[in-house]
Structure formats: C-alpha cells, structure tokens
Amino acid sequence: MRILSGIQPSGTLHIGNYFGMMKPAIELQERGEAYYFIADYHSMTSLFDPEQRRQNTLGVALDFLACGLDPKRSVFWRQSDVAEVTELTWIIGTLTPMGLLERAHSYKDKTARGISPNFGLFAYPVLMAADILLFDSNLVPVGRDQKQHVEMTRDIAIKFNQAYGETLVVPEPEIRDETAIVPGLDGQKMSKSYGNTVEIFGDEKAIRKKIMGIKMDSRTPAEPKPNADQNIAIQLLKLVAPAEVARETEERLRAGGLGYGDLKKALFEHYWSFFAPARAKRAELAANLDYVNGVLRDGAERARATATVVLERARRACGLA
Ligand code: TYM
C-alpha cells in the first residue's frame, strides 16, 4: 500500500497540522510505503517572498523529521525537486471541469476573505491531484479541510481512466474523527489565517501567554460545567495529556472542582512536555543541516524514480508518447 501526503511551507507549523496530518502520517509509516513532501509549489499561490519560502521549507523539513518522520522508511522530498508533477497537472487539468474547481471550498473561502485570486490558486486542487496521482497513492492522510480536495482527485482519476483507459490509481482519504478538525484558541478550526494557533515548536513564554489567554465561558469556576466537552482547553488537553489525566481533569471541571487558571496551566505543562523529545531532536537537526539537505536530495531521487514511471504511463495513455 502506498501512502502519500503533503504540507505547505506557508508559515510555522501548528498542532492542528501535527494531530491532523503529521502524527497519523508518521504512524502510517509502519503500514506501507510512505511518501511525504513539502508542497512548496502550492505555497506560491499565497506567499510571494522567496527567502521566506526557503526558510519555511527548511523549517517544515526540520519539524517533520523532529516529529518522527523516518527517512529510512519514508520518501521525503521538496515538491519542486520533482518537477514532473507540473506536467501531470497540465495533463489532468484538461479533464478537470471548471465547475468542479469553482465549487472548491478553500478557493471560495480565500476569495471571500478578500484574497485576489490568481490562476494558481484556482488550479490548486489540480496540482494537488497530480501530487497524489503521480505516485499511484492508495491512502492520503489529511485533516478534514483537505477532504474535498481528495474527493476531487478521485473524480479526476476516474475521468482520466474513462477517457484514456485504466491508468491512474484512485486514492482514498484517511481522516481520523478525533483530530479531523483541531480547534484553535478561539474555538474555530486552528489555522494560521485565523491567528488562533499553538505552534508545535513555539517559544515557551509566548505559548504560555496564548494558552493562559484562552477565553472560557463566563460562569464562575465553582459552578458545575455540563458542557466541559466543548471547552477548548479540555479538547486540547485530550490531545497532549495521557487519556487518564485528561479524563480526571474533565471530571473535576464538570464537578466544579477545578478553576480555569489551573486548567490552562495544566494544558500548558502537558503541551510542553508532550513535544519535549521532538524539541530536543529538532535542535539536533538544526545543527546538522547538511544531513537534512541530504535527506531531501535523496528523497527527491527516490520520488522521481516512481514519478517518471507513472508519468510515462499517463503520457502513453493519452497519446503523448
Ligand atoms: P496544509 O499545509 O494547509 O496543512 C497540512 C495538513 O494539516 C492539516 N490541518 C489540520 N488538521 C486538523 N485540524 C486542523 N486545525 C488543521 N489544520 C491543518 C491539513 O488538513 C493537512 O492535512 N493542500 C494541502 C497540502 C497538499 C497535499 C497534497 C496534501 C498539497 N498536495 C497532496 C495531501 C496530498 C495543504 O494545504 O495542507
């Protein structure tokens, strides 16, 4: 089984990225051939600073490796190092109905927020479909916000196969219910564009301040809280604390025996220790950038070996070869 996923270098990674995609992706390394990449072409639709892109890309590489991506087991590369994906984007783009792209949530959200759309932003799901299809991927671990994109990929693959004969593998999304949408500090989906994130490798003081600033409902702490499960601090605690600890804390909160300040302090402490091993690993990697660049170079070579075979198959099928 082939597993594939990507992540954009559009800023600092947050725990929504971690629990929604990286953690499942890291666990799936055990179950098949894992292909993971840094989607730097995609970042071009919204980030226009070359130095920033270079830094973010290196940052994502460090983050993913520090969190447990094992380059001996997985293929890990920078999307733009395997430029074959842009040819497949063109090929499948000619079979992608405009209407399908016009219905894309992420495109509609971005334009609704006033971002003036470019062709790349509109074509974003086609490039993502090409990422997935270029590697004969079976399973794509993502957060809920990417579900529609994987469904579009399936539609495109089916259409290609109908037009040109069985050529492309139709993938399935893998979305875990518990972490499909990790909430941000304000209760909306955690997202860089909402400014509500907790970074994976954030500065201690800054994150403590963010967590202590989570808004709680206004009832006095002593009053029992029947809606504890909707409490953002509890939802985040469930991700970073041992299950037993999270359950006890929730019970105390429901019973009115735990103040919000103490709850948030506990959340910070558990967050901080949850990522402590990865933080140490990241510092080690940051001091050894030759190794990290070597991993990406080697990953690009291995990714290209697979990509060229599938691209050739697609070219032949549609009469280009
Ligand atoms: P990106 O970079 O926005 O996010 C990376 C992954 O993190 C997940 N995620 C979340 N999951 C749960 N809760 C949240 N609050 C949360 N925020 C982010 C996203 O769902 C995603 O899985 N288009 C993709 C990158 C991409 C890709 C691909 C993914 C490009 N090509 C091919 C899979 C396959 C993106 O922008 O993800």
CA atoms within 13 A on the CB side of 38: 31
Centre of ligand 1 from the C-alpha of residue 142, in Å: 6
What confidence category does residue 215 fall into, taking pLDDT thresholds of 50, 70 and 90?
A: confident
Residues 67-90, mean pLDDT to the nearest whole number = 98
Sign of CA dihedral 312, 91, 61, 51: positive
What pLDDT does 230 receive?
72
Please determine, for residue 168, whether its predicted confidence score (pLDDT) is greater than 80.
Answer: yes
Q: Report percent pLDDT > 90 for the chain.
A: 89
23 lines ligand 1 (CB under 6 A): no
Helix or strand or coil: residue 83?
coil
Please determine, for residue 129, whether its predicted confidence score (pLDDT) is greater than 90.
Answer: yes
Residue from 5, 7, 18 whose mutation best tests the ligand 1 pocket (most atoms within 8 A of CB): 7
Nearest CA-CA partner of 132 in 73, 85, 72:
85
pLDDT in tens, 14-47: 999 999 999 999 999 999 999 999 999 999 999 9
Please determine, for residue 51, whether its predicted confidence score (pLDDT) is greater than 60.
Answer: yes
What pLDDT does 317 receive?
98
Domains and CATH numbers, the chain: 2-182+288-317 (3.40.50.620), 202-274 (1.10.240.10)
What pLDDT does 226 receive?
62
Q: Which of 82-86, 113-117, 195-199, 273-277 has the lowest mean pLDDT?
A: 113-117
Residues 292-314, mean pLDDT to the nearest whole number = 98
Q: Report percent pLDDT > 70 for the chain.
A: 96
Task: Report the distance separating Cα 157 and Cα 168, nearest Å.
Answer: 6
Contact yes or no for 241/270 (Cβ under 8 A): yes
What pLDDT does 224 receive?
64
What pLDDT does 220 receive?
53
Nearest CA-CA partner of 44 in 85, 8, 5:
8
E-strand stretches of the chain: 2-7, 33-38, 74-78, 139-141, 172-174
Centre of ligand 1 from the C-alpha of residue 146, in Å: 6
142 lines ligand 1 (CB under 6 A): yes
List the catalytic residue out of 23, 72, 108, 110. 110
192 is catalytic: yes
What confidence category does residue 193 fall into, taking pLDDT thresholds of 50, 70 and 90?
A: confident
Residue 180 CA: which ligand 1 atom is closest? 12
189 lines ligand 1 (CB under 6 A): yes
Q: Write b or e for each residue in 194-220: b if 16 or more Cβ atoms lie within 10 A of its Cβ, otherwise e.
A: eebbbbbbbeeeebbebbeebeeeeee
First to last CA, the chain: 28
Please determine, for residue 221, whether its predicted confidence score (pLDDT) is greater than 60.
Answer: no
79 lines ligand 1 (CB under 6 A): no
pLDDT in tens, 233-291: 999 999 999 999 999 999 999 898 899 999 999 999 999 999 999 999 999 999 999 99
What pLDDT does 54 receive?
98
What pLDDT does 251 receive?
93
The residues, any chain, with a CB within 8 Å of residue 256's CB and separated by 6 or more, are 221, 222, 223, 224, 225
Please determine, for residue 80, whether its predicted confidence score (pLDDT) is greater than 60.
Answer: yes
What pLDDT does 218 receive?
57
